[in-house]
Structure 1
Amino acid sequence: RIAAEHNWPCNWQKIEEQGIGHHSTGMGKRAVPVMLGDSLRALFIGNSYTQYNRLVRQVQALAASTGHKLSVKLVEHGGWTLKKHAANPETLDAIREGSWDFVILQDQSKAPAREKEWVRENVYKPAHSLDSLRRLYNPKGKTVFYMTWGHDIDTYAEMQQRLAESYLEMTAQLNAWCAPVGIAWKRVRTENPSITLYNNDHSHPSRQGSYLVANVFCSVFFQKPYTGTYYAGLPEEEALYLQRIAQETVFSNPSLWNIQPTMQPEEVAHRFYPEPEQQYSTPTLSKPLEEGLASLFEINRYLKDLADRHPDKVTLFDIGKTPQGRDIPVLYFGTPNEKKKIRVWIQAGLHGNEPAGPEATCMLVDYLLNTPEGTELLKKVSLALVPVANTDGYAMQSRKSGSGYDLNRDQSKLADPVTLLLKKAYKEWNPEIALDIHEFNPFRKEFELLRGTKTATAADVLFLPSGHLNIPAGIRTLSNGLFREEAEKALEANGYHSGFYFTPSVRNDSLYAMKDAKSPQSSSTFQGLTNAVSLFIEIRGIGLGRACFARRAECGFLVSRSLLETAALYSKEVRSEIRKAVKETCSGKSDISVTFQSARTEFPVTFIDLTKNERFTKPLPTFDALQLKAELVRKRPKAYILPDTCRMQADKLRALGIEVEEIGKPFTATVEKYMVTGYKKATKEWEKIYPVTVSTRMVKEKKSFPADCFIIRLSQKNANLAVTLLEPESVNGFVNFEVIHTKLGKELPIYRKN
């Protein structure tokens, strides 16, 4: 206990073997509580599965090694059921002590796996009785059901499925939490069978098994990722693997374990969002509902199996590893050099907590490889497909990457190594058409202003076209016209509803809609600035967990398929418009729109009243980014010059596909330089999105430059991206995002050559 409290190294296995510090006289006897000051308090009620390998002490030691204090008490008797505990004065007195943050209930290993009627009578009723007592004496606490695992016998799968069903049904009925040990157990059995989780009796846990259990509980109790330094005597690599599996299992499905319940009532889903009739065998949809979302292992195995069966059609390639060591796979259908085929880039999962996109890409891969229609499409289209762009985030169902970045906000700064890997792959593929699949949160508190009730956005899919004025008008028209309209038809034909994406904003207690995209902080704009036809969709999904999942994934699949079909059917027209846009860009005749404002208009939005279970439409005052008016306009220079001190910035431009020339000798040129006349740091609310705002005046002068300076000539395909990044006042440009630092009154290290 002292070692755990002070985070000292300690050989816990030796303690187990020698019986040092035991608070129990053996199997079937209860342990006395071990209390620490300023702790969370957990009462474990169970049997030998909870007692084996000093589990509660492992939970406590692991918590201490991550900086958490945890007081624990165990009431256990070998082979006991919850029914016996519900009639046991010792158990009831322990609950009555009160002030428990968590009361953990574990039934006998076989009991919840029996036939349903027996379980309802002999498991659910005593569980309800114990939970009722917990509510009476610990109203601020939470009941946590300890979902155990199937025995290591021929009927393991059936037993595990029944255990999961029973524990999750109890969890839902009592509004409790579930510690999904059995699901984590199954993941290890599947992904790393060399790790022995069972004791010799094929039932009780081994040291590895108990350590996995301890990590599941710590993940449930403390609700945030950790790296514990307590390994329970296991090799470090093995212990860290078990830590990772436990955390991924808990954090990837919080709504399934009722830790973060979904905000959508079942009657709303039943009335407005029924699942599609077609059955899919994709990674998540082929799993039992009780196991939640597919893991990265399951997604990658699914894709690899398809690729292995069709080596003539597709190549699966890892473009690199994330900071946490996970691969980022890309599927290449064809090559970028097939001139007769139009090149398409599709990515999903840029935000790790948006799982419908990865599932949609799996549907698309299956369609392309296993249907005649898919085979025909591949004769006309070359496709680079990124199923899970943010693999670290997906593993934990976290929006941000493993390095803590929002990758869709890292389009300019390129601070995350994952962004660099994705941009390199995008640049090498050089797509003519690009699609980014996201999910949005339909449950926004701001919507309560409409009726005073809980309200959600109704549409299945929202399109996010970019109105950025540096994207050639023809490209914008194709994106928001032909491709979006065809995708909407495909959705409508299958009974799905679509609209335009917006974010709610409250001003003077009135609700406004900020509609569509105008900033290169989003791939919707970034891809358009590379002269690619850019589509960006948001599927109604964040906050739904596994609910309506087939519907959400099918929406993403239908848009993806429509995009490929439209690309194949109109490839000549698309390429003609792209050639025109590139020619216009390289000519340098068009001015640069540096800053602009959205037009004020009104926009009808359809909502669901979650209380009344009804759909309604409300016109909202709107700032529309598809109707932009330029504020600051500048003549486009022939080139920008960056001094030799800007090597890092030059490398970022190259990573984005912008051609940068390095001058190996000194030279003199007449240039325009920027003098900073206004400088403002963003408030804390906006510092990650718009860190700095500047204003400048330009001064013309003859300037000498040393060797190794950099020239960015604007007679290139990606010149629109270059001007958007290098003009100082540009939102999400290098100055705005502090890729280039400056201060008031300073000369910026960016020079315009005319």
Structure 2
Amino acid sequence: MGERAVPVMLGDSLRALFIGNSYTQYNHLVHQVQAIAASSGHKLSVKLVEHGGWTLKKHAANPETLDAIREGNWDFVVLQDQSKAPAREKDWVRENVYKPAYSLDSLRRLYNPQGKTVFYMTWGHHIDTYAEMQQRLAESYLEMTHRLNAWCAPIGIAWKRIRTENPDFTLYNPDHSHPSVQGSYLAANVFCTVFFQKPYTSGYLAGLSRNEALYLQQMAQETVLSNLSLWNIQPSPQPEDVTRQFYPDPERKYTTPTLGKPVEEGLASLFEITRYLQALADKHSDKVTLANIGNTPQGREIPILYFGTAKEDKKVKVWMQAGLHGNEPAGPEAACLLADYLLGTPEGADILKKVSLALIPVANPDGYAFQSRKSGSGFDLNRDQSKLSDPVTLLLKEAYKEWNPEIALDIHEFSPFRKEFGRLRGSRATTAADVLFLPSGHLNISDGIRRLSNGLFREEAEKALAANGYNSGFYFTPHIKNDSLYAMKDAKSPQSSSTYQGLTNTVSLFIEIRGIGLGRTSFARRADCGFRVSRSLLETAAVHHKEVKKTIQKAVRETCAGKGDVFVTFQPTRTELPVSFIDLSKKERFTETLPTLDALQLKADLVRKRPKAYILPDSCPMQAEKLRALGIEVEKSRKAFTTTVEKYIVTEYRKADKEWEKIYPVTVSTRVIKEKKSFPAGSFIVRLSQKNANLAITLLEPESVNGFVNFGVIHTGRGQELPVYRER
């Protein structure tokens, strides 16, 4: 019934052996895989051994199949069982599916030790019991995948996603079992994504319309790339016994997008998250509004939930965002848990009497779709707070500016597994804390706001975490210097939203949940940590709303009055602090005291008198627009004028070394000269008698590590006069 053991060679290439039946033979699937790979820049040789209706049990006794595996040098050996077999009762499956799969995998390991077994997860038949059949297929194929340390090609999960999101799309042959051309093309794209693990756009369309083909390519890639640990392509680095001992999930049932569906289906898609939010908004239209702040470059919406309005002055206005990095999925789930709590409990209703909330569950939809840290345009959005290179950053800043919050929370996840930790005991170790707090010590943030952020709000959040059995600590990044490990603690850079928001005279919290790289491991625990912190923040805001408003009003008055000097550069204090870790070999918690650079205890290096205003000549409209996008008021002079200013002459300009170039691209030094200068009509004036003056200072002082000069928004070089002037 079709092609059998026919190799198609492309020279120096990867090699894939497909073993299956008519599901693998239909619509020349293996040739589709090869053609998609070729059009995407990859060479792939394929060979097919198939017999209609055959099971893996028959293949395990078939000389033709065994001889094909023994040929060796296969990068991938793909195993597909008969469509119904893995969906039968568990005992039967273990005897008649798992055993022959183990036998074929053992032969593959013997003759292809560098290769990988890939299980072809098929789909449920288009019948009344589709859901049950699909669930059993997913369970069986994933159990085999993990037991044999194989990979899984989750065609059945991609199939189910399309059935859910686009039910009119035709994936089945008229027999309701075999794949249509579209179904085979979907499967082929899943295989290519599994094999090469990178997004692509293929020009091979298999006779489909371009729109159909691109849609199927996208669905396949999102399904695979968003759950690499579930398919065992990038296994979770955390041993199961460590998870059971230190990071068990809470024992409760959930209805939120990821936790409310089977583990075998992985993380919720953007469609599922938006559907969940829409259902809440429809059910509670008197309490919440679901809106879209704009579309990403790849065309995805950025949903936002408004609990109340920005005009309710008696309430405390709070901004919360999650998913700014696309590979940090616990934050979006925590946001959904919070929305459900606010709308579905009496305690949530009480909070909303004193708090207005703008909630963005997924701030980086393009990144989330593929579980990629960066945006669809290739930017790290948490490093785009000054340069504003990504259109998504501009959309987020505009929404933030319109809401004008008094409190802000940004929910992130961090990677707990760092190679540097191996120096502590000579074996693998991991950060122990469930949640790390990342407050800002930036000296241009009001003292009162910093005290609320790192005092009242953080302390209450830590209590809430501890009450639920979670551990917390301070955020740090490990570094090696002179062969010793040290920690860089907390934030001072406006490239982190923790600092950016504080500079807008907002009480700012930023948390990192222990999670990057863990996939669905401890996912309920991680999401619950984010929920506990966000709930605590709202409860604290409701109870202390008068203190919050009073502190912010004072900070704004002092800012507008021009009190205090300008802190341009500063250095963290050197200290030693204890940090908790888990030894992955001994399965025990231990504490190590690390040399630490503490950014909450900053010492000023360069201090200047605060000017009345900064002036940019009419040649700087782009810089002026970026300032406005960040919520800074910029006037445009109607006529020419002359005033006394301080001008900057660049005395040093050098690029940072490789360790720091992404964070602090250049080092700049200047000398300041006082003179009388004339400016043409159309020049830009940034007066410091405004709420966001401290942000303007940080962006426009040339030595500032995350200012416009540092990030090339204002170009310069040694000996040049900068187009930024300080009016005194």
The whole-number CA distance in structure 2 between the counterparts of 1:32 and 1:489 is 65
Aligned counterpart, 2:173:
199
Say if 2:650 and 2:720, in contact at 8 Å, map to a contact too: yes
Say if 2:430 and 2:584, in contact at 8 Å, map to a contact too: yes
1:7-156 → structure 2 map (5 Å cutoff): 27=1, 29-156=3-130
Aligned counterpart, 2:684:
710
Quick one: which of 337, 352, 366 aligns to 2:311? Answer: 337
Matched position secondary structure for 1:346? strand
Q: Deviations over 1:43-63 (max 9, x none)?
A: 000000000000000001111
Q: Deviations over 1:708-735 (max 9, x none)?
A: 1100000000000000000000011000
Quick one: which of 441, 448, 454 aligns to 1:474? Answer: 448
TM-score normalised by length of structure 2: 0.99
* Cα deviation, residue 584, structure 1: 1.0
* Cα deviation, residue 682, structure 1: 2.2
Quick one: which of 275, 296, 303 aligns to 1:301? Answer: 275
Aligned counterpart, 2:468:
494
Aligned counterpart, 1:422:
396
Quick one: which of 617, 623, 640 aligns to 1:649? Answer: 623
* Cα deviation, residue 111, structure 1: 0.6
* Cα deviation, residue 692, structure 1: 1.6
* Cα deviation, residue 686, structure 1: 2.8
The whole-number CA distance in structure 1 between the counterparts of 2:260 and 2:575 is 45
Aligned counterpart, 1:515:
489
2:243 aligned with 1:243: no
* Cα deviation, residue 28, structure 1: 5.3
Matched position secondary structure for 2:660? coil
Matched position secondary structure for 1:695? strand
For 2:612, the aligned partner's letter is K
The whole-number CA distance in structure 1 between the counterparts of 2:587 and 2:517 is 18
TM-score normalised by length of structure 1: 0.96
* Cα deviation, residue 99, structure 1: 0.8
For 1:445, the aligned partner's letter is K
The whole-number CA distance in structure 2 between the counterparts of 1:249 and 1:669 is 61
For 1:93, the aligned partner's letter is D
Q: Deviations over 1:94-138 (max 9, x none)?
A: 111111110100000011111111111111111111111111111
Q: Deviations over 1:306-365 (max 9, x none)?
A: 001111100100010000000000000111111111100000000000000000000000
The whole-number CA distance in structure 2 between the counterparts of 1:514 and 1:572 is 35
The whole-number CA distance in structure 2 between the counterparts of 1:306 and 1:238 is 31
Aligned counterpart, 1:314:
288
Say if 1:658 and 1:719, in contact at 8 Å, map to a contact too: yes
For 1:534, the aligned partner's letter is S
Aligned residues: 728
For 1:81, the aligned partner's letter is T
Gaps in structure 1 of 5+ consecutive residues: 1-26
* Cα deviation, residue 670, structure 1: 1.4
1:407-556 → structure 2 map (5 Å cutoff): 407-556=381-530
The whole-number CA distance in structure 1 between the counterparts of 2:149 and 2:482 is 38
The whole-number CA distance in structure 1 between the counterparts of 2:365 and 2:526 is 20
For 2:515, the aligned partner's letter is G
Quick one: which of 151, 154, 166 aligns to 1:180? Answer: 154
For 1:335, the aligned partner's letter is T
Q: Deviations over 1:348-400 (max 9, x none)?
A: 00000000000000000000111111111111100000000000000000000
The whole-number CA distance in structure 2 between the counterparts of 1:750 and 1:340 is 39
For 1:490, the aligned partner's letter is A
The whole-number CA distance in structure 2 between the counterparts of 1:183 and 1:682 is 46
* Cα deviation, residue 31, structure 1: 4.6
Matched position secondary structure for 1:511? strand
For 2:247, the aligned partner's letter is Y
For 1:359, the aligned partner's letter is E
Q: Deviations over 1:200-256 (max 9, x none)?
A: 100000000000000000000011000111111111111111100100000000000
2:642 aligned with 1:668: yes
The whole-number CA distance in structure 2 between the counterparts of 1:347 and 1:129 is 49
* Percent of residue pairs identical: 81
Q: Deviations over 1:420-470 (max 9, x none)?
A: 000000000000000000001000000000001110000010100000000
Say if 1:588 and 1:636, in contact at 8 Å, map to a contact too: yes
2:688 aligned with 1:688: no
Gaps in structure 2 of 5+ consecutive residues: none
Q: Deviations over 1:38-88 (max 9, x none)?
A: 211100000000000000000011111111111100010000111111111
Aligned counterpart, 1:260:
234
For 1:586, the aligned partner's letter is C
The whole-number CA distance in structure 2 between the counterparts of 1:140 and 1:274 is 34
Q: Deviations over 1:683-706 (max 9, x none)?
A: 344332222211000111111111
* Cα deviation, residue 29, structure 1: 4.8
For 1:637, the aligned partner's letter is P
For 2:471, the aligned partner's letter is H
For 2:282, the aligned partner's letter is D
For 1:141, the aligned partner's letter is G
Say if 1:28 and 1:47, in contact at 8 Å, map to a contact too: no
Quick one: which of 617, 630, 633 aligns to 2:591? Answer: 617
Using the TM superposition, name which of 289-298 and 678-687 deviates more: 678-687
Aligned counterpart, 1:587:
561
For 1:608, the aligned partner's letter is I
The whole-number CA distance in structure 2 between the counterparts of 1:554 and 1:480 is 21
* Cα deviation, residue 193, structure 1: 1.0
The whole-number CA distance in structure 1 between the counterparts of 2:476 and 2:252 is 31
* Cα deviation, residue 707, structure 1: 1.3
The whole-number CA distance in structure 2 between the counterparts of 1:259 and 1:714 is 53
Matched position secondary structure for 1:185? helix
Say if 2:5 and 2:68, in contact at 8 Å, map to a contact too: no
Cα RMSD for the two superposed structures: 0.7
The whole-number CA distance in structure 2 between the counterparts of 1:460 and 1:196 is 44
Say if 1:29 and 1:77, in contact at 8 Å, map to a contact too: no
The whole-number CA distance in structure 2 between the counterparts of 1:481 and 1:526 is 19
The whole-number CA distance in structure 2 between the counterparts of 1:385 and 1:643 is 38
2:182 aligned with 1:208: yes
1:599-638 → structure 2 map (5 Å cutoff): 599-638=573-612
The whole-number CA distance in structure 2 between the counterparts of 1:109 and 1:612 is 44
The whole-number CA distance in structure 1 between the counterparts of 2:11 and 2:688 is 65
The whole-number CA distance in structure 1 between the counterparts of 2:460 and 2:254 is 24
Aligned counterpart, 2:139:
165
2:700 aligned with 1:744: no
Quick one: which of 217, 224, 238 aligns to 2:198? Answer: 224
Using the TM superposition, name which of 686-695 and 293-302 deviates more: 686-695
The whole-number CA distance in structure 2 between the counterparts of 1:719 and 1:133 is 69
Aligned counterpart, 1:381:
355
Using the TM superposition, name which of 387-396 and 503-512 deviates more: 503-512
The whole-number CA distance in structure 2 between the counterparts of 1:72 and 1:29 is 11
Matched position secondary structure for 1:107? coil
Aligned counterpart, 2:327:
353
The whole-number CA distance in structure 2 between the counterparts of 1:28 and 1:744 is 71
Say if 1:654 and 1:660, in contact at 8 Å, map to a contact too: yes
For 2:722, the aligned partner's letter is L
For 1:214, the aligned partner's letter is A
For 2:344, the aligned partner's letter is N
The whole-number CA distance in structure 1 between the counterparts of 2:311 and 2:161 is 41
